Amino acid sequence: MARIVQKFGGTSVGNLDRIRNAARKTAAEVTANHQVAVVVSAMAGETNRLVRLCTDLSRIHDAREYDTVVASGEQVTAGLMAIALQDLGIAARSWLGWQIPVETDDVHAKARILEIQTAELDRRLNNREVAVVTGFQGVSTRQRITTMGRGGSDTSAVALAAALNADRCDIYTDVDGVYTTDPNIVAQARRLNRITYEEMLEMASQGAKVLQTRSVELAMKHRVRLQVLSSFANPVGSDLPGTLVVDEEEVLEQEVVSGIAYSRDEAKVTVIRVADQPGVAAAIFGPLADAAVNVDMIVQNIAEDGSVTDITFTVPRSDLHRTRQVLEQIRNQTPYERLITDANVVKISVIGVGMRSHAGVAKRMFQALAERGINIQVISTSEIKISVLIPEEYTELAVRALHAAYGLDRP
């Protein structure tokens, strides 16, 4: 007997037939004598609809009320899933974030889980009842509903698996695993049988939305056995293996580059002709950090006469408005000539733990892009990743070119 957390994403609970299909997958595990907790997302498109209601009503709205609104999608699917399971003769009960409770900090819209109380869930699971838990939502230390950022149900599932000491956390989605790149834009992408936590972490943080970044961090920290599976491809009981996220030692043949990710959620900001002296970077990036703007790539150009310089950096597209506001506010103390912003950019990243021991990875990337006439605007690297910022219209072309250049195309 094992204890399993299953998570069904938006498309996997997108309509009543799909909810029934998901319930049958849960029922199969219960019939096999396993204890199951199910984490559900909102029905496909529902969270986007709820977000739009908030922004249409008021462009800059109270994040606490945003959370109250957007958390509601998961409440509906949790109840529907419990009904679908009961219809199959399975004992099941739904649980909202505050009922468990899933305790989070009070950073609304991107809350982090502090603790999950499991005594009651433990008791119910031991009594053979399926616990259907809302993904994405929790309750803050101030007793308000919080949400964990877009894609946050993955994190709910992994955190629950860790808290419940589950043997497995199965993420059911609309693709049958983690691919070398997004299979929806590169037909030649290959499914990976295994991927290391570290690579998955980079893939997720560089834009591969198949798993939320925080969920991979938690899985790595708590050594949760995490796998990504399709909720559609296979009939119940014959699930193909999907992709297992594992430790580096468990991957036998390591490619130099194992995947390519892209993120359209990028905007580029250039501060033109700011003083080239100590303290200027702190004067710019300090206030941005205080405003919770997450600055990613940064380049500072060297000015010819050494007195002024240009600084270019990237921020999430949704933070561009706030970034402009902050930079305008500091202009008196930190003068600059002007600001240039560009939201039509995309960040493309090649990722692989094999990069640590192989040279020439960057060269191949720059060559492949140059051959297609794609101009690189900003570059950044880590031990196992190289990222470039390019014009957004070249996204597909660049990802396909790199996928081929690193020999990742399906034979």
Least distance in angstroms from the C-beta of 179 to ligand ADP: 4
**Could you give the maximum distance between any two Cα atoms of the chain, in Å?**
78
| β partners of residue 309 | 274
- CA 53 to CA 34: how far, in whole Å? 40
Among ligand ADP, Mg ion, ligand ASP, none, the one that 178 touches (CB under a kind-dependent 5 to 8 A) is ligand ADP
Query: Which residue number, 169 or 274, has a Cβ lying nearer to ligand ASP?
Result: 169
Q: Which two tokens stand for residue 166?
A: 């589950």
> What are the residues whose beta carbons fall under 8 Å from the beta carbon of 138, sequence distance 6 or more?
97, 98, 101, 102, 103, 104, 111, 113, 145, 146, 147, 148, 156
Query: Cα–Cα distance between 72 and 322 in angstroms, integer?
Result: 27
* Three-state DSSP state, 290: helix
Binding mask 27-66 for ligand ASP (x = CB under 6 A): --------------xx----x-------------------
Residues 117/96, Cβ–Cβ less than 8 Å: no
Binding of ligand ASP by 172 (CB under 6 A): no
Contact flag: residue 73 with ligand ADP (CB under 6 A): no
Q: Which is nearer to ligand ASP, 47 or 206 (CB)?
A: 47
Q: Does 229 bind ligand ADP (CB under 6 A)?
A: no
8 A C-beta contact, residue 38 and residue 8: yes
- Which range of residues in 85-93, 152-160, 227-235, 342-350 is near ligand ASP by CB under 6 A? 152-160
Which residue number, 50 or 339, has a Cβ lying nearer to ligand ASP?
50
Q: Which residues contact 183 (CB under 8 A, 6 or more apart)?
A: 175, 189, 191
Closest C-alpha to 6, from 129, 168, 176, 150? 168
In the chain, the amino acid numbered 344 is N
CA angle 113-28-25, nearest 5°? 55
Supply 65's token pair.
């009320």
Partner from Mg ion, ligand ADP, ligand ASP, none binding residue 387, C-beta < 5-8 Å depending on class: none
73 binds, among Mg ion, ligand ADP, ligand ASP, none (CB under 5 to 8 A by kind): ligand ASP
152 binds Mg ion (CB under 5 A): no
Closer of 27 and 200 to ligand ADP (Cβ): 200
Q: Which is nearer to ligand ASP, 42 or 54 (CB)?
A: 42
Per CB under 6 A, the list member of 136, 179, 197, 406 interacting with ligand ASP is 136
CB of 150 to ligand ASP, least distance (A): 4
**CB within 8 Å of 85: residues ≥ 6 apart:** 23, 26, 27, 38, 91, 92, 130, 132
State which of residues 3, 64, 150, 322 lies at the interface with ligand ASP (CB under 6 A): 150
- List the interface residues with ligand ADP, window 253-282 (CB under 6 A): 259
154/266 with CB nearer ligand ASP? 154
Residue ranges that bind ligand ADP, judged by CB under 6 A: 9-12, 41, 151, 173-175, 178-179, 181-184, 203, 208-210, 259
> What does the binding site for ligand ASP look like in residue numbers (CB under 6 A)?
9-10, 41-42, 47, 73, 135-136, 150-154
